[in-house]
Amino acid sequence: MEKSSIGKTIAILGNSIEIENVYPFENKRIFERILETGGAIISEYPLNTKPYPYNFPYRNRIISGLSNKLIVVQASLKSGSLITVDYSLEQGKDVYVLKDNNINNPAFEGNKMLLEQGAISLNYL
């Protein structure tokens, strides 16, 4: 498989990095492909850490920390994306939000809220 010269994927896990702990396990092939194409799989969790629900919101601070800007594509009001937004704002990063044409869709209520709070609006291409 040819390595991309455009960019690399970095996956930040909410559990340890052993292949048998891929979560959800259906993503095992994606996990392998990231590594095959020169990307990275990183985790702050020690070996044999299971994917506990409380790990995921906390790891979002790393996702934000590795980013220059945050673009929210879709966020409901209980979305993990909103947790990442909070970390991004704490870190002084710009937050961009895709404006959906169907802004009344519950899946985009977080987008609507962020736009009302002053996030930078992006229109779908």
pLDDT in tens, 75-103: 999 999 999 999 999 999 999 998 877 76
Domain of 99? 53-125
On whether both 17 and 46 belong to a single domain, the answer is yes
On whether both 100 and 125 belong to a single domain, the answer is yes
| Number of domains observed in the structure of the chain | 2
**Is the whole-model pTM more than 0.95?**
no
Task: Please say if the pLDDT value at position 123 is more than 90.
Answer: no
Task: Please say if the pLDDT value at position 2 is more than 70.
Answer: no
d(CA 73, CA 82): 11
**CA dihedral sign, ordered 75, 109, 51, 28:** negative
Q: Give the three-class secondary structure for 80.
A: helix
The predicted model gives 16-43 an average pLDDT of: 92
Phi, psi of 47 (to 5 degrees): -50, 145
Least Cα distance to 61 among 90, 38, 41 occurs for: 90
On whether both 39 and 79 belong to a single domain, the answer is no
